[in-house]
Copies of this chain bind each other. A is one copy, B any other.
């Protein structure tokens, strides 16, 4: 995503996704701040929570307060998974801001075998929504196939996440089932590798 694409995109998209590698692209942040389009603001893979919040101010100070903060995993020494989901970031962000907090278990684990478990963990920790990569044929996906769920696995995960919230409103944290945002994302191109 580049500054020059904003004008055209603004007419068609519901939400801008600001990828992890653009979290400190200040020209782009300021340009998005001039719009009123909601933004999924992804944490950089080596950004601290403080840096994440500071960078989001570049958007908000332009008048666009429709920012969703997204934990998508950080880089650590662990190699068993693609990234390390910083689950602590969920309650920390909920405490420090009023902005919605989203978890992206697809990028934060990098492996479809672990996506459901970490999605549920994110909701239990208080996330307001999840974003998950889905592909009808993961083995042949152009990018991110390894971390993509099939539509069937996605449907199963949604059911589990919802039942986790309980029937009597005894939900985990602030994530009540009816308000939980479930975003299914189909990877479109190799560039989504950098989300």
Q: Residues of A with Cβ closer than 8 Å to B?
A: 2-4, 21, 24-27, 45-46, 48-50, 74-81, 84-92, 94-95, 108-109, 113-114, 117-118, 120-126, 160, 163-164, 166-167, 170, 172-173, 191, 194
In whole angstroms, what is the CA distance A79 to B48 when docked?
A: 7
A114-B91 CB under 8 A given contacts A2-B27, A121-B121: yes
A120-B109 CB under 8 A given contacts A75-B77, A84-B86: no
Q: Inside 8 A of A91's CB, which chain B residues have their CB?
A: 109, 113-114, 117-118
Copies of this chain held together in the complex = 4
A172-B164 CB under 8 A given contacts A77-B46, A78-B74: yes
Q: Inside 8 A of A74's CB, which chain B residues have their CB?
A: 76-78, 84
Instruction: Tell whether, in the assembled complex, residue A95 and residue B120 are in contact, meaning their CB atoms are under 8 Å apart.
Output: no
Q: Inside 8 A of A84's CB, which chain B residues have their CB?
A: 74, 76, 84, 86, 88
Shortest distance between the CB of A107 and any CB in chain B (Å): 12
Shortest distance between the CB of A88 and any CB in chain B (Å): 4
In whole angstroms, what is the CA distance A160 to B170 when docked?
A: 8
Shortest distance between the CB of A46 and any CB in chain B (Å): 3
Q: Inside 8 A of A122's CB, which chain B residues have their CB?
A: 121
